[in-house]
């Protein structure tokens, strides 16, 4: 059962699992509690930004590896087997994601058309 501490304005500033002096019981499905728990703290924001930066850098490194292999600067087999497996797995995932993305998000020059029905007409 959650207990909360409030500031002078009455806003939740802490959530506790046990009752302490000055704490107030609050129902777990309380809307204000939900808003408080979903707030992004500066630490969470920094972690999210770092993770986004890391993901972008990972993509750059993957692309760099692909360019170096395509130009013959390095061979895929130059990498240790665990690295080869990771690169292959990522390549497969990116291919699958690209296929699904193309399937559900056609490009500007591609218009999604439903398959024709029995008489060769579309749905309309």
Three-state secondary structure readout of the chain: CCEEEECCCCCEEEEECCCCCCCEECCCCCHHHHHHHHCCCHHHHHHHHHHHHHHHHHHHHHHHHHHHHHCCCCCHHHCCHHHHHHHHHHHHHHHHHHHHHHHHCCCCCCCCCCCCCCCCCCCC
Position 100 confidence tier, pLDDT thresholds 50, 70, 90: low
User: Within a domain: residue 118?
Assistant: no
Share of the chain above pLDDT 70, in %: 77
User: Within a domain: residue 43?
Assistant: no
Residues 28 and 63 both lie in one domain: no
What pLDDT was estimated at residue 20?
Answer: 92
User: Within a domain: residue 66?
Assistant: yes
**Tally of domains within the chain:** 2
> Can you give the pTM of this predicted structure?
0.48
User: Within a domain: residue 46?
Assistant: no
Residues 89 and 62 both lie in one domain: yes
User: What is the average per-residue pLDDT within 27-32?
Assistant: 90
Decide if pLDDT at 110 tops 60: no
What pLDDT was estimated at residue 44?
Answer: 84
More confident residue, 28 or 40: 28
Residues 29 and 61 both lie in one domain: no
Residue span of the structural domain in which 27 resides: 3-38
User: What is the average per-residue pLDDT within 10-24?
Assistant: 91
Mean pLDDT of the chain: 84
User: Within a domain: residue 115?
Assistant: no
């Amino acid at each position: 059962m959650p207990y909360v501490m409030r500031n002078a304005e009455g806003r939740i500033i802490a959530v506790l699992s046990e009752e302490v002096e000055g704490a107030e019981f609050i129902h777990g499905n309380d809307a204000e509690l939900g808003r408080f728990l979903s707030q992004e703290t500066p630490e969470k924001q920094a972690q999210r930004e770092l993770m986004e930066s890391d993901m972008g850098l990972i993509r750059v490194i993957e692309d760099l590896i692909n360019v170096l292999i395509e130009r013959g600067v390095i061979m895929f087999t130059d990498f240790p087997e665990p690295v080869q497996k990771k690169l292959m797995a990522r390549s497969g995932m990116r291919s699958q994601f690209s296929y699904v993305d193309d399937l559900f998000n056609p490009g500007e020059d591609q218009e999604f058309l439903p398959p024709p029905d029995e008489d060769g007409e579309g749905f309309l």
